[in-house]
Homo-oligomer: A and B are copies of this chain.
């Protein structure tokens, strides 16, 4: 008896445990984000051997990454080793490595130095930010997807103030204190609000020459309003909250150029030494690995069960997939959708390997949309409930702490937020040198862009 091949018509296993162990179907999950982890967990009781492959040794709670970028939290507060998360699940092994290709004919995932054969493959490798065909903008306008992105942005933000303090040319000082955020989805809105608070509250008494209140934070959105997924009245409330924090909101005009001196938007140049990108994403190259059809953002077009057309034992989910929910709408690319899809696919595989019929089609449950603006304001839409202000912020905080992995992380994040709430201080304001420990030279606008992150 072999376990190679398709499992849709298999009989349930009824062999002695030892024999099963040697021949159990191999499930390979690439990516330990929300989707991949929840797929692995859904296979906890299944008679399969699961291998989780990730380039990183940790699972990252991406929704709070902007707080690392704005010096509110430390990286370790929102990341947790994948091995620790899965350590009690004995049918899982974790492999640190980068997938370079998938051999769909030979049913193996290809890494630099090995092949990992699979009977079922789940790909949940997420997405990167993308620049609408302008990859050259990336160095001038970094995006926020990984921990190094966050620590680099933190360094850039903090160094801007240091350089402005040491700067004698008022024009350059102004450029250093202008911060542009491109894209007003939840990430852009949360970043802009957090930068405004960092500048105008946390740093306000720390400088002698620079008045951090002179900082300009400009949020640019090509669409007609901020937070397009939210109902219009909530978005308007969020915009007013941002403006109250001192954020300038520019709507309806796309950025046509990003460079070291700032951006051009609507034909006008906005001078800024710090431009942050929260506008576009591009899926990881899973479509290329699989030779599968993709949408414009590189997402693999998958069936209702997240399988790739023509490869019924290969599933793609989360930000890497273009899926439709049961109402025919595109599934949103947010953490709860990835989690639900992961759980669905995990259970589907668990049923197939024991020969049970496939499950009900996937139905996506949308719990709501949340975005926070600064230290004690948020907008929340949950079903018919729409909330804003302090209680929305409290709900946002509780929801995020609840979904963090690990009691320690929850406690540390809660403590940090309480501290920040009470004092306006930010605990993680470190500028740390990179690979060569290049010294920080204040007032050197070029050097710091090359430096690495902590």
Contact = CB atoms under 8 A, between A and B. Distances in A.
A429 interface: yes
Nearest to A155: B57
A37 to B, nearest CB: 15
A95 B439 contact: no
A210 to B, nearest CB: 11
A427 B111 CA distance: 29
Interface string A18-56: 000000000000000000000000000000000000011
Contact of A56 (B87, B146, B165, B432): B432
A100 to B, nearest CB: 9
Contacts of A451: 435
Interface string A59-84: 00000000000000011110101011
B147 A442 contact: no
B432 A408 contact: no
Interface in A406-432: 406-409, 411-412, 415-416, 419, 423, 425, 427-432
A454 B57 contact: no
A113 B172 CA distance: 15
Nearest to A437: B148
A327 to B, nearest CB: 38
A203 B406 CA distance: 16
Contacts of A435: 434-435, 450-453
A132 interface: no
Interface string A201-240: 0010111110000000000000000000000000000000
Nearest to A68: B76
Contacts of A412: 412, 415-416, 427
A98 interface: yes
Taking residues whose C-beta sits less than 8 angstroms from the other chain, chain A's interface range is 35 or more
A96 interface: yes
A9 B81 CA distance: 63
A243 interface: no
B75 A432 contact: yes
A295 B77 CA distance: 44
A443 interface: yes
Nearest to A77: B74
B441 A112 contact: yes
Most buried by B among A81, A97, A114, A441: A81
Contacts of A408: 415-416, 419, 423, 425, 427
Contacts of A111: 441
A115 to B, nearest CB: 13
Nearest to A203: B83
13 contacts: A56-B431, A56-B440, A57-B429, A58-B429, A74-B76, A76-B427, A94-B208, A95-B166, A97-B166, A112-B441, A113-B443, A407-B419, A412-B415
